[in-house]
Structure 1
Amino acid sequence: MNPFDSEQIPKLRRGFRLQWEPVQGCHVLLYPEGMIKLNDSAGEILKQVNGARSVAQIIDELRGRFPDVPGLDEDILAFMEVANAQFWIELQ
């Protein structure tokens, strides 16, 4: 079971910034002590995290963009759980 409900609103933690890194060829999450290189899926999910959309809205948006991906809802929820546990995001 996920530790949060899908109506919660994620936002990047203070000091974290998502950006495209051309040299790395991927999105990265920057923070004062370093950088986290993200895979394509993580980058797509975090691009939707703006402090206004709920997890459910992010799932709906990505389901609309990637309708043929099986298990997308569960993958997004699992990523949110990891991102929250790693203190990349906060859930409100």
Structure 2
Amino acid sequence: YWQGLVTNFANPKAGVFAVSFLPQFVPQGAPVLPTLLAFSVIWAVIDLLWYLPLIWLAGRVRGVLQRRSIQRRMEQISGAVLVGLGLRLAIES
């Protein structure tokens, strides 16, 4: 958990995106800083509402996904998808 949290805070992409994306939605004449803070809070709440069910689902399927047979099958499927995408790219180029 802590490693993911530190990685997330050390990654400037989300901040750069917010600084470049959110200001266009500040109404003309509105106070910029409070409006951007409100947008940030709304964004955080929406993220929380989106990720909580995903976290719950991941916890439920964790046991299944840790089985070696399932991991091997997922590796085979993802490998086949990558080979297929590579072939498609080679054919179209």
TM-score, normalisation: structure 1: 0.33
Where relative contact order (Cα < 8 A, 6+ residues apart) is larger, the structure is 1
Higher Rg of the two aligned structures: 2
Structure in which a larger fraction of residues adopt helix: 2
TM-score, normalisation: structure 2: 0.33
Structure in which a larger fraction of residues adopt strand: 1
